[in-house]
Structure 1
Amino acid sequence: MQGARAYDVVVGADRAHAHRPDGPAPVPAGWAGPEGPALDPATWPRSPRTRQPMIHCATLELPPEYRRRSPDLVAVSVFEWVDETGFLPAPAFVTEALADPAPTDPFWQDVAASRPHEHAHVLCDQDTGCFYAVVLLTRDELTGPRTARPRLNPVVDETEHVDPPARERFGLFGDLYLVERDDPNAGRVPVDWPEDGDDGYVKVDDCYERFASTHLGGTFMDPFGMGNRTASPWYLEVHRLGGLWVGDDENLLVDLAADEPIVHR
């Protein structure tokens, strides 16, 4: 699409400047780490199964052409919660607590006061049981004081992981930068192979040398392919950003033009 741009998402100023030293200057665009944006704590995404507050992975300011839902929704936040059995019913202690009309435990009081964010989407990966959430943000939510994750329930189900080991092993935390790609597929619908694409989709043989796996638009980077996923050209592909490890092998795909933006497997 003429005039469309694609961007790599890079953690840290030094990495960003080294990523494409002869290209356009990196643009500061958010952060990766445990602090969330300026959300009302009552709207912080929670596990639908046990109501634990999810882990904030990253918040990214979107270029204007990627604000597809509304020009007033200027950024996106990504959350995760590792639960090996997220597709199963809630354990008994959760069911019992939710049935209490006047909880005295502080955690369950927080749960009783919680409500969904109007621009949030939560999805369970039916293969791994893990939960992922995306929240589209207003300018005030992006630029306001960062918020700490709400209190955890000290009673954790045996299949939940409060501090996933992959975050410590693979996580990169810090300021995020957008680095414009020299990508022939900017503005095109992502596909696995050029022959499957329309509108002149180009095979980029050296994409893994040229581009980052976490990016906005352009050439699709997941080496395992699209699978059953489809997305518009205005998508975010996330790989290990802020310690996010999606399904162990596959990347998280977020279609920023869709009402339910998380597109998994």
Structure 2
Amino acid sequence: MKAYDVVLGTYEIAVAAHRVGPPPRPAGWAGPAGPAIDPATWPRSPRTGQPLVHDATIALPPEYRYRSPNLVAMAVFDWPDESGFLPAPANFAAALAGDLSYVAHPDDPFWGDVAAARPHPHGSVVCDPDTGSFYGAVWLTAAEFTGPRTERPRQGRQLAPAEDLPPSDERVRFGRFGDLWLVERDNDPNAGRAPGQADYVDVRLLDDDDADFIDVDERFSHVHFGGTLMDPNGLGRRDISAWYMEIHRLGGLWVGDDENLVLDLATDQVFSFR
């Protein structure tokens, strides 16, 4: 089992990061356009029905297609909501149940989209218990990955008080957008090992005098499959398998305290929070 970095930018940038193994190969994109899924199945906030924002769609290396060899990529979404762990406000709860008499814009076409929405058969939406934000993941077939990109469904005119979507220019300023490339990691001692397990090598505890020392932040990407964990805040409460993926800043994604988002591809829950 190997570990892979996901490199953002041009093919030339990916080649510069390439050190061993096969040449870099296309691995998706980061940005607001989603994969070729039915818009009715676009992940939504369970509190207010707002469509989540697409951050990135990333191809899974074959050995990381743990759920099914026919699910070849993962699309990741997010939605800021400081109260995501609380019940929906009464007016939104009523609207989601079909009673629009308590919302500010009952004629908003958004509510028709909400009524027609349905879960993606391979999708999930979860709430970060620390920040309240929602994160969505959709496992994709080859057709959904390579087909025409889908624009985010229209956003509702009324936001709940705790929903605070950063303006698009802020997501661009702090986010990372563009093409993604898969590059095999060079000599990662933790390829095939689960972080936190007895055989995992915590290279951050080594020093320059140790023969096994590697400067992981110089050597590896914070967006990757397997191998050495890159989250600057450490593993925390998480218990993840060797088949995991970390994401940082792609498409404007932000996780509390600027940590990395961790997805365990060997579980149905997928997201693993600190």
TM-score by length of 2: 0.88
Deviation for aligned residue 1:91:
1.8
**What is the aligned counterpart of 1:9 among 1, 6, 9?**
6
**Distance (Å, rounded) in 1 between the aligned partners of 2:70 and 2:76:** 18
Q: Counterpart of 1:194?
A: none
**What is the aligned counterpart of 1:256 among 235, 241, 265?**
265
AA in 1 matched with 2:194: V
**What is the aligned counterpart of 1:113 among 95, 116, 121?**
116
Q: How does 1:195-206 map to 2 (within 5 A)?
A: 197-199=197-199, 201=201, 203=203, 205-206=214-215
**Distance (Å, rounded) in 1 between the aligned partners of 2:107 and 2:96:** 12
**Range that drifts further, 238-247 or 29-38:** 238-247
TM-score by length of 1: 0.91
Give the aligned CA root-mean-square deviation in angstroms: 1.9
Q: Counterpart of 2:173?
A: 169
Deviation for aligned residue 1:18:
2.3
Deviation for aligned residue 1:151:
0.7
The C-alpha deviation readout for 1:34-62, integer Å capped at 9, x for no partner, is 00001111110001111100000000111
AA in 1 matched with 2:191: A
Q: How does 1:62-211 map to 2 (within 5 A)?
A: 62-100=60-98, 105-163=108-166, 167-182=171-186, 183-191=188-196, 197-199=197-199, 201=201, 203=203, 205-211=214-220
The C-alpha deviation readout for 1:144-199, integer Å capped at 9, x for no partner, is 111000010011123213335752232111110011101121111123xxxxx333
Deviation for aligned residue 1:201:
3.3
**Distance (Å, rounded) in 2 between the aligned partners of 1:161 and 1:121:** 22
AA in 2 matched with 1:163: P
**What is the aligned counterpart of 1:46 among 44, 47, 50?**
44
**Distance (Å, rounded) in 2 between the aligned partners of 1:142 and 1:260:** 21
Q: Does the CA-based 8 Å contact 1:125-1:247 persist in structure 2?
A: no
**Distance (Å, rounded) in 1 between the aligned partners of 2:244 and 2:97:** 39
> How many residues of Structure 1 are paired with residues of Structure 2 in the alignment?
257
Q: Does the CA-based 8 Å contact 1:184-1:202 persist in structure 2?
A: no
The C-alpha deviation readout for 1:208-244, integer Å capped at 9, x for no partner, is 1100111011000112111110111111011111211
The C-alpha deviation readout for 1:87-122, integer Å capped at 9, x for no partner, is 122123312312336975411111111111121121
% same residue: 61
SS in 2 for 1:161: coil
Q: Counterpart of 1:34?
A: 32
**Range that drifts further, 117-126 or 33-42:** 117-126
Q: Does the CA-based 8 Å contact 1:166-1:245 persist in structure 2?
A: no
AA in 1 matched with 2:37: L
**Range that drifts further, 46-55 or 117-126:** 117-126
AA in 1 matched with 2:251: G
